[in-house]
Every structure is written in C-alpha cells, then in structure tokens.
Amino acid sequence: MRYALALIALVQAGLGFGALFMPADGHADMVAMPGMTYPVQPGFAGVSWNLALGAGLLCVALYPRLAAVWLPFYCGLTIVLGVASVSDLFRGLSVTGRISTHALSVTGLVLLLVVYRRGAGTRHRLRVGDNLS
C-alpha cells in the first residue's frame, strides 16, 4: 500500500508541476492585484495545493507513522473538494478534469487510511523528538 500511496503522491505532485508550466489563458490581461493576473492566481493556488498534497502523501509513504498527523488535514481537504464537486455537478458545470483530480484525492485518502490502519496496532504514538526512520 505504501508503494501505491507513493505513486498517488507522485501523480498529485505531477499535476502541480504540470499546471505550473501551462501557458496562461486569453484573459491574462485582467489584473486582480499588483503583479498578478486574475486567471493565473487561482492556478497557482491549485499548483500549491497539488504540490503540498503530493509532498504530504510521499512523506507518509516513506514514514508511515506520519499518517496519524497528515490524515486530519488530508481528510478535511478531500471533504471540501467533494462538496465543491457535488455543487458543481448540481449546477450543471462541465468540470470533468477537476473532478478527476478530486477523485485522485479520494484515492489518496483511501490509501492513507489503509496505511494508517495497518500501522495502528504496531506503532506507538508519535512524540516530539521521535526518530522517524
């Protein structure tokens, strides 16, 4: 399961890196704040989230004891993404690409839960100063 989690982490981070190098769309001339264009700002927020999620999942794949720490954050974000996806579907918006990336987050959450549950009986609580290796 840790290998599958690492794969999901790399795909999630790959989405972030891929979006980082995509060209801006035709509305890049709409200025929302000094030095930043409106369409690009939400794009960089998505890049940041995808890179952070990928990094977090990769850390858990390498150090499974971190699953207890990462799980609440990842679960909360996945719930928010799920609510947003359902809302978009009910409004009839065409969001196939976005929902597919949200499905990737759900897959990551399931794998994170499996890694957490597998280690629940064999690990002690994570404390400050613990050696993670």
pLDDT in tens, 20-47: 776 555 444 434 444 444 444 455 667 7
pLDDT in tens, 44-80: 667 788 888 899 999 999 999 899 889 999 999 888 8
How far is 69 from 31, CA to CA, in rounded Å?
A: 39
pLDDT in tens, 74-103: 999 888 888 888 887 888 876 676 777 778
Q: What DSSP string runs through 57-119?
A: HHHHHH-GGGHHHHHHHHHHHHHHHHHHHHHHHHTT---HHHHHHHHHHHHHHHHHHHHHHHH
CA–CA distances in Å: residue 70 to residues 43, 86, 126 = 24, 24, 12
Nearest Cα to Cα of residue 111 among 51, 48, 54: 54
Nearest Cα to Cα of residue 19 among 33, 39, 3: 39
Which of 49-53, 114-118, 123-127, 128-132 shows the lowest mean pLDDT across its residues? 123-127
pTM, two decimals, is 0.69
